[in-house]
Structure 1
Amino acid sequence: MKPVVRRTVLATVAALALGAAAPSFAQEIKTRIIRFGYGLNEQSNQGRAAKVMSDAIAKASGGKMKMRAIGAAALGPDTQMQQALIGGAQEMMVGSTATLVGITKEMALWDTPFLFNNTQEADAILDGPIGRKVMDKLEEKGLVGLVYWENGFRNLTNNKHAVTKLEDLDGVKLRVMQNEVFLSSFKTLGANAIPLPFSELFSALETKTVDGQENPFNTILSSKFYEVQKYLSITNHVYSPWIILASKKWWDGLSKDEKKVLMDAAVAARDYERKDTREEGAKALADLKSKGMQINELAPAEAARMRSKLTTINGGIASNIGQPLWDETQAALAKMRK
């Protein structure tokens, strides 16, 4: 074969080879990669649920959408990830609703002390029209809310005595989150509320700088507070939700089918995460009892007394989020409680 002819043939073969590879390459380019950030580690309830969501997205999209779950706050704390979503630099995340209050004031509804009596009430409100109404407010700020996950009810521990009634909080030096609602609430209930970063809490309990603290069972166990706390009172004084968020800039560019894949996967992960979290919480409570903590449950009548004492705090929240939203929520809860 002449050199010129040989070169022509080789060039033709190479072109055909590239042409054959082109569809595969194009298909790879079309795969949508979703960076999904969360704060806890991979072995946590957040991490397990993120994997459920990731698998559901890959399966429903036939591999055309891939969610990269990135935990341990590797993409930054909740506030940093929220800003990344607003700017379009990150696609999705799950995090606390409490850190969204500065972005969307209606999110303060979920900070209300004794808002929910149980998880059934929380599920019904969060998954219903009220929860959706609060989430929809995020779109004005560049975020899209998909579903709520569960962090859990917060409960009291201390070293002085069991909290069985309102008066038992009098003078208790209680560490609270650096959040004005929490500070004002516990001061109103008679405690000596002391704001401290979580990182300083164990040491403060150990040195008796504070008498007690409040957190979900899972956190009390994993943080080994049972080593420095004697009494655990099941007060369920605040229910803390997490929320799955998407960047609106990014979300608006998705097709209807892609949005459905993500929403369906978020719902499946929510249902898994709530069940997982509740089972983990029940096991944590049993573990805390086996480790010697003295456990009591606050009677409904005493919870009602505390709720009544917080009327002024609740009035401030109602004013902040808007009276119509507050009234709608209270009416929905009253109807469920009949």
Structure 2
Amino acid sequence: MNTDTIFSRLIVTRSEPAAQGIQLFEFRHPEGAALPPATPGAHIKVKTPSGHTRQYSLCNAPDETDRYVIAVKREAQGRGGSMSMVDQLKVGDTVEVGGVENLFELDERARSFILVAGGIGITPVLAMARTLLAEGERKFKLYYLTRDPESTAFLDEIKNSDLKSHVVIHHDRGDPSNSYDLWPALEKPGTLTGQHVYCCGPRGLMDAVRDMTGHWPSSTVHFESFGGDTKIHADDQAFTVRLAKSGMDLEIPVGRSILEVAREHGIHAASSCESGTCGTCKTALLEGEADHRDMVLLDEEKSSHIMICVSRAKAGRLVIDL
């Protein structure tokens, strides 16, 4: 998140389970005022009770300006943001919310869509499906892939709505051999038909879709991730970062990011997603070996750059260009 982001206080008007381990939240303006409009695939930044800022996709219909609806998966091995949302945030509480942004826009040139959602990746994709259904002009098919019915958010809502005929829901039961075969849908690139692919979900799914669409024009395949590797590893250790421009040394504890600690010390660094997916916080790495946990850097960049929102030191000290 850029430190210049303007936050508004909204009130939690709804909090309920959306599925096992997933909590749905509804936010409204405390005085009933209209909220800034969104487009399908948009997200908001939320200051969680833990103090971390996290990015959540809006899953309600984008034309609704009276509320924002998000779904939060409780990540027990994460850095605490999602856990504090699910465990602490109650109806009637206020929460600081940043402006609407969209890095996952529906392409206006597309004439039809293949939408692929894995797990909690359904949130932006559901908003897209709702919009396309309401428009009624462009064809789409949504493939919603989850572990089991209990952990499938919005399952009943999808099954009992007009979306049903547009959606394929598959549960793999945690068995990789039972994964859904997307190849028949992706085998033929949509060059002539104006078809685009949108995929949101865990790294494994995104990598698989990326491999299966390698023969598609790159401009017709779009990805949105819910983050790089933000979990705390069992072997994580505190490390030191030297900021080359200021000469300041920062101690980065387990469970905190370079970005967070730098911000606390008054160091401004551009950022956005804070989950290793957007590339905004890319910083030159001058010395040391990084433990890269992002989803952005190319292999040839990893010796000279680091995403300071998620990545850490493999050993010893890092020196970065801040």
**What is the TM-score normalised by the length of structure 1?**
0.26
**What is the TM-score normalised by the length of structure 2?**
0.26
The structure that is helix-richer by fraction is 1
Which structure is richer in relative contact order (CA contacts within 8 A, separation 6 or more)? 1
The structure that is strand-richer by fraction is 2
* Higher Cα Rg, which structure: 1
